[in-house]
Every structure is written in structure tokens, then in C-alpha cells.
Chain A
Amino acid sequence: MKGLVILCIEDEAEVRNAIVRDVESFADICRIDEAEDADDARSAISQCHDAGEQLAIVLCDHMLPGQSGVDFLVTLNDNARTRTTRKVLVTGQAGQEDTIKAVNRANLDHYIAKPWSKENLHAVIKEQLTNYVLECVEDVLPYVSMLDGPRLLEAAKNRSQSE
């Protein structure tokens, strides 16, 4: 199976480490990568594409040095290779205008307000990762035990090999 990647983009190292630690339980089915700003994220994404991996989810802060998180997500949405990537904003400081832009132009999948709770973050990732697998992964069975099993099994009905 092609590896899936979760990319966490956050400029403050402490916060970034906390996010990575909280999503670590998905490490069995995904590689968890991190970046400190938009440029760093772009090089991480091209590395993951070169390795044949699929970028499943980006967890992105809004207030980043350089390009803002929302603008970065818009560029991801405009690029064919990352259009299906699930886009989650993890922020405390996105104003109404930026948030509207994220929804309308970046096709934002979820908004998590800081400070986040581990349970909520988990639930969001589980749901978004399930959506991504259903849309972009042919063989869904390896993900049944970690993600939303009943939904994945529903899809497995029509995708499996001949008996």
C-alpha cells in the first residue's frame, strides 16, 4: 500500500510538538511529518510525492511567518495533486474574512479552534482520514481497524477481488 502522510504546519516548536504528540496514535497507518512555515511545507510535500506517498491531511496554523496558513491552503486546493488532501485549520487567530476565504477558496474540511482537546483532534482526524481513504485509496481494508470501520467496510463490498 502507498503510504499516507499527515503534515502538521505550525511555527511555534512547542505547539507543533504537542500536535504531533496528539496525533501519534495514527502513526501505524500514516507517516506524520511536520513543517514550520509554508515554504518548509512545500518542500515536505514534494519530498512525499517523490517517495510515492499520498498527502492525506494537512493540519495548518493560520498565523505563519511569510505566507499565511489560509493562503497556503488555497494554493494546495489549486494544485491538482493536493486538491483531494483534507485541509484542517488549527488556529486561534483567523479573522472572519480569512475564515470565509478558507471555506470558499481552499475548500476547508474542518476548523479546529486553539486550544484543541486531544479527543476532538482525534475524532476530526479519524473522520477526515476515513474520507480521504474512501476517496483516494483503492484497498480500504488495511484501514478498517484504525479508522471508521463500518464506513470503510461499506466501500469494501464493491471494491474487493472476485471470490
Chain B
Amino acid sequence: MLLFSLPWVIHFPGLSIEGHRVLSIFLAAIVLWVTEAVPLHATAVIIILAQILLISDKALLTVPDGFDPPSFRIFFGTLADPVLMLFLGGFFLAHGAAKFDLDRNLARVLLRPFGISAPMILLGLIAITAVFSMFMSNTATTATMMAVVLPVMSQLPAKDRMRTGLALCIPIAANVGGLGTPIGTPPNAIAIGALARNGITIDFLQWMMMTIPFVIVILIVVWVVISKFYRFGGKKIELSIESTFNKSLPAIVFYVTFAATIALWLTSKLHGMNSSIVGFVPVVVLLSTRVFSAKDLQSIQWHVLWLVAGGIALGIGVGKCGLDAWLLGLIDWNAMSSVMIIAMLALTALIFSTVISNSATANFMVPLALTLAVSGGVGISPLTAAVFVAIGSSLAMALPISTPPNAVAISTGVVHTKDLALVGVLVGGIGLVLFLSIGPWFWKLVGVLH
């Protein structure tokens, strides 16, 4: 409340009246997201209402002369932003995978070729977890895979360090794997949504080309570190690998829809439907074939979508009211090299999201990062800026509270804070350095960044 009222009392030179109002909202939003005084998604709807009441064409307070207020429809519209439709498609696929037990069955089938050697099983777990978390939420993936390894862990002797290694590799692989696709984790969607509003579109395949090579390298490091540190070498692990796929008609309709949606996402260039439109296809198919009932529709995690919408709304307000330009004027950016600025953005995102939600971090960092890049003069492309914030947010996993997958790992009782801290800091550090050193160069190479 105090921070909210600050810009109403104190006048900052160079900032317009509407800019002061958005600054209030912005500061209050950060405080609410950090303290979680209200749930994260509640903060998002507070932002939307506050902006409508303060700076839209339906504002209760008179808008200052010379300011063209955005329509209130724009702020409500964020709740159905195209990037949310992309995510909704992802949620439908993830919900169906759980409903028809596709996730657990696939996990068991895919683990089979990795044999019984302990390091190979570990590699299999890391790879499968990462791939799953590209299409399901990191948390759901972690819960699914943890349920697969719990019985294995309980067969190992209590003192065996492999137990910790097995439970630890899953949240780490899920967090890293989430970077792999636009629907992998909300920060990716927040970055993509904000970029789209600035006229920069990234399709499904382009995003994968930007991140997957890095994801693979980071995961190999994770594999080597965990198998060394938790002594997997030379041991064997027996897995129960029975799997019974659901072969009912609705399940088969779902499998086909699942495969077709992913195929459509990867081939946007050929058919011209962008990834948001493709995301809406499984929604239509699964509801109209009655594979999904109204009850399934209700179990979709709408609060995650609304959280993303809050971030997009915040970005619109910041951009429309000149707050961005003013904030930028506060620091002499020319004194810093562009690499330093990117490093600072990613590191700030990493630090924030170590202690607060990744999505909330991306929600307030992406608008700032984009502003910085769009204003020009600092030599960073908007794409680089936004994507680095998303990467920084996702690589934060050093504490149990950093992200829900970590909390799931801690709940098994075999992973302790020091395990997460060690591997989490290592992965965050190596990942960030890797992206910073060759990311932009590689993105130019694959033709996504110009």
C-alpha cells in the first residue's frame, strides 16, 4: 500500500501523470508477487482492474490532457491473449495425458531401452523428464516421474546415495526441459506474448531451435554431475516396466489429437496457422468429440493462464504511459556494454525467481527488458532481452521454494536443501554462462535473430 501510494504523493520529474499511475500499479504488483499477500493470480486480476480504473478510456479518474487512453477492452482482452490460447492447447494435451495415463505408460516404455545399468537409467530419467516437461507443466512432469521412481527408490538400501540422485535429477531435468518449447513453462509464454505485441513473432519450431541445443548440453552436465556425485557408477537398477495403454476409443482419439497438434506446431511454416491457432485445435477437437467433458474443462489450470494475462496487461500499461522511457532515463545505459546489460537482466531474473515464482518474475521483468531493448541505443534486440529473462527465470532452482518441482523433490524426504543448492547453483550458473556466451550468436546462426 505504501509503495502504491508513493507515486501519488511524490512527483517524479520527467514522468507524466499517467506514468505515475502505472508506476503505482507496477510497484504494488511487484510487492504483491514477492510477498504473496494475495495469490499470484489475484495480483494479476488486480493489475487488470487497476489499469482499467486508472488509465483506460473508462477510467474513474480524469485522464490528463494530451494522453490518448487505451480502450478498457485491451486490458480485458489480455485474458484471451493469443499466447494464452497456445498455452490452453498445451494444458489440454497435458490434462489428457494424465487422464488416459499416457504419461506414466510412456515413461515406462521409454525407460526400457536404457537397460539396467544405473548411469543409463539416470540418463533415461533425465531425458524423458525433460521431454515431458516440454509439453506438460514442470510440476506435473515432476509429480508423474517421481511416482515412477518412488517404488525403485524404496527398494534401494536407505544409505544408498543413488536414492537422492534419482529424486534430484527429476525436478532439475523438468525445470531445464521446460525451456524447450513455448508451452514448456509460463515464462516462455510471457516472453513470446510480449514480443508479439511488439511485432516480433516466434513460432513453435523457432523457439525450440533457440533453446533445445542448450537444454541438451545442460542436461548432459546434470547427468555427469549427479552420476559422479551420487555414485551411480558400476551399479544396476531393476525397474518394473509393465505398461498397459488405455485402448478405449476416447483414448485413441486423444492420442491422435495429441500427435496431430504437435505435428501442426512444428510445421507452422508449411500450413500458415500460427502456434496460438494450432493450440486452439485440440480444444475444439477434444470438446466436440466429447473426449473432454465440462468437468475436464473445469480442471484446466485457469489460474496459470490468468497469471500470464496479468503480466501482459502490466506490459501494456508500462508501454502506453511512458513509464518505460522514464525508467530507462534513470540509468546511463551507454556506460555498459550490451553483454553486460543482458547478463544483468538474466541474473536479476535468476535471483528474483530463486525466491519468488518464475512466472511472476517474468511478468515484471519482461516489460522492463523489452522497454530497454525497444528504446534502442543499447544495442540489444528485444528478442534477446525477453528470452534471456525467460531463461533466467527458469534456471533458478537452488532452493526448495524456488519452484514447485523442487518442493515435490523435497517431499520425498531423500532430497535435502543442500542437494538442491549444490546442483541448482551449478546448473543455473553453467546454463546462464552458456546462453550468455553463445546464445545470441547461435540464434543468428539458425536465423531466428536478425
With A153-B143, A153-B146, A154-B147: A163-B186 Cβ-Cβ less than 8 Å = yes
* Chain B proximity of A152: nearest CB distance (Å): 8
Q: A145-B414, A154-B98, A163-B357 are in contact. List 15 more A-B contacts (CB 8 A).
A: A141-B407, A144-B408, A144-B413, A145-B411, A149-B147, A150-B151, A153-B147, A154-B147, A157-B98, A157-B140, A160-B408, A162-B301, A162-B304, A163-B358, A163-B404
Give Cα distance in the complex from A157 to B186, angstroms.
16
Task: List, in ascending order, chain A residues with CB within 8 A of B147's CB.
Answer: 149-150, 153-154
Q: Does B185 contact A (CB under 8 A)?
A: yes
Q: Does A115 contact B (CB under 8 A)?
A: no
Task: List, in ascending order, chain A residues with CB within 8 A of B303's CB.
Answer: 162
Task: List, in ascending order, chain A residues with CB within 8 A of B138's CB.
Answer: 163
A141-B359 in contact (CB<8A):
no
Interface of B is mostly: helix
A145-B151 in contact (CB<8A):
no
Of all A-B residue pairs in the complex, the 5 with the closest CB atoms, nearest first, are: A145-B413, A150-B147, A141-B411, A144-B411, A160-B404
Binary CB contact string for chain B from 59 to 74 against chain A (1 if under 8 A, 0 otherwise): 0000000000000000
Give Cα distance in the complex from A6 to B360, angstroms.
39
A162-B40 in contact (CB<8A):
yes
> When the two chains form the complex, which single residue of B41, B178, B185, B408 contacts A153, counting CB atoms closer than 8 Å?
B408
* Chain A proximity of B444: nearest CB distance (Å): 30
Interface centre among B143, B147, B301, B414, by most chain A C-beta atoms within 10 angstroms, is: B143
Binary CB contact string for chain B from 134 to 164 against chain A (1 if under 8 A, 0 otherwise): 0001111001101100110000000000000
Interface centre among B150, B151, B357, B360, by most chain A C-beta atoms within 10 angstroms, is: B150
Give the contacts of B340-383 with A (CB-CB under 8 A): 357-360
A145-B139 in contact (CB<8A):
no
* Chain B proximity of A1: nearest CB distance (Å): 12
Task: List, in ascending order, chain B residues with CB within 8 A of A120's CB.
Answer: none
Give Cα distance in the complex from A163 to B90, angstroms.
15
Q: Does A96 contact B (CB under 8 A)?
A: no
Q: How many A-B residue pairs have CB under 8 A?
A: 75
Give Cα distance in the complex from A146 to B299, angstroms.
27
* Chain A proximity of B295: nearest CB distance (Å): 13
B357-A162 in contact (CB<8A):
yes
Binary CB contact string for chain A from 137 to 163 against chain B (1 if under 8 A, 0 otherwise): 000011111100110011011101111
Give Cα distance in the complex from A87 to B423, angstroms.
44
Complex A-B: 25 CB contacts under 8 Å: A141-B407, A144-B411, A144-B412, A145-B411, A149-B147, A153-B144, A153-B146, A153-B147, A153-B150, A156-B143, A156-B411, A157-B143, A158-B301, A162-B40, A162-B303, A162-B304, A162-B307, A162-B357, A162-B360, A163-B137, A163-B138, A163-B139, A163-B304, A163-B358, A163-B359
Give Cα distance in the complex from A51 to B408, angstroms.
28
Interface centre among A149, A150, A157, by most chain B C-beta atoms within 10 angstroms, is: A157
Binary CB contact string for chain A from 49 to 81 against chain B (1 if under 8 A, 0 otherwise): 000000000000000000000000000000000
A149-B357 in contact (CB<8A):
no
Q: Does B403 contact A (CB under 8 A)?
A: yes
Task: List, in ascending order, chain A residues with CB within 8 A of B151's CB.
Answer: 150
Give Cα distance in the complex from A99 to B413, angstroms.
39
Question: Which chain A residue shows the least CB distance to B304?
Answer: A162
B412-A160 in contact (CB<8A):
no
| A residues neighboring B (CB under 8 Å) | 141-146, 149-150, 153-154, 156-158, 160-163
Interface of A is mostly: helix
* Chain B proximity of A27: nearest CB distance (Å): 15
* Chain B proximity of A129: nearest CB distance (Å): 15
A162-B359 in contact (CB<8A):
yes
Task: List, in ascending order, chain B residues with CB within 8 A of A153's CB.
Answer: 143-144, 146-147, 150, 408
Task: List, in ascending order, chain A residues with CB within 8 A of B357's CB.
Answer: 161-163
> When the two chains form the complex, which single residue of A146, A154, A163 contacts B185, counting CB atoms closer than 8 Å?
A163
* Chain A proximity of B410: nearest CB distance (Å): 8
Give Cα distance in the complex from A158 to B139, angstroms.
9
A149-B150 in contact (CB<8A):
yes
Give Cα distance in the complex from A162 to B411, angstroms.
17
* Chain B proximity of A119: nearest CB distance (Å): 16
A149-B408 in contact (CB<8A):
no
Task: List, in ascending order, chain A residues with CB within 8 A of B404's CB.
Answer: 160-163
Give Cα distance in the complex from A145 to B411, angstroms.
6
* Chain B proximity of A153: nearest CB distance (Å): 4
Interface centre among B185, B301, B303, B411, by most chain A C-beta atoms within 10 angstroms, is: B411
A162-B150 in contact (CB<8A):
no
A142-B411 in contact (CB<8A):
yes
Give Cα distance in the complex from A153 to B147, angstroms.
6
* Chain A proximity of B48: nearest CB distance (Å): 16
Interface centre among A145, A157, A161, A162, by most chain B C-beta atoms within 10 angstroms, is: A162
Task: List, in ascending order, chain B residues with CB within 8 A of A146's CB.
Answer: 413
Question: Which chain A residue shows the least CB distance to B353?
Answer: A163
A157-B144 in contact (CB<8A):
yes
Give the contacts of B89-126 with A (CB-CB under 8 A): 98
A141-B408 in contact (CB<8A):
yes
Task: List, in ascending order, chain A residues with CB within 8 A of B186's CB.
Answer: 162-163
* Chain A proximity of B222: nearest CB distance (Å): 19
Give Cα distance in the complex from A162 to B410, angstroms.
17
Question: Which chain B residue shows the least CB distance to A140?
Answer: B411
Give Cα distance in the complex from A55 to B404, angstroms.
28
* Chain A proximity of B442: nearest CB distance (Å): 26
Question: Which chain A residue shows the least CB distance to B184?
Answer: A163
Task: List, in ascending order, chain B residues with CB within 8 A of A161's CB.
Answer: 40, 357, 404
